[in-house]
Amino acid sequence: MTDEDWNRRREAAEAAVDLRDVMVEILSAPGEGDDDATEAKRHAAVALDGIEAAEEALRLWRDIDEEAVELLGEEPFEVSEE
């Protein structure tokens, strides 16, 4: 994986945080009885599941020598010297 790929992982993680914030805002907004608001909330709930799946894909895409992305809850890999 190149440095460019790593930067893309970090950028994607940052975008996921922003997107999650907006989806949570949609879910917590009033709008009972409004068909559009109800539909928006339904899509936001599905989107949150998709964001979690995307973050897991980003975590799995990490190379052993790559720095951790804190937004993804990653920690540095421990290198054992045997």
pLDDT per residue, tens digit, the chain (82 aa), is: 566 666 788 899 999 999 999 999 999 998 777 899 999 999 999 999 999 999 988 888 877 666 777 777 777 767 666 5
Give φ, ψ of 62 to 5 degrees. Answer: -75, 135
Give rounded-to-5 percent helix, strand, coil for the chain.
65, 0, 35
Give the pLDDT score at 71: 73
Instruction: Quote the pLDDT of residue 31.
Output: 78
Element (H, E) at 49: helix 35-60
| pLDDT for 23 | 97
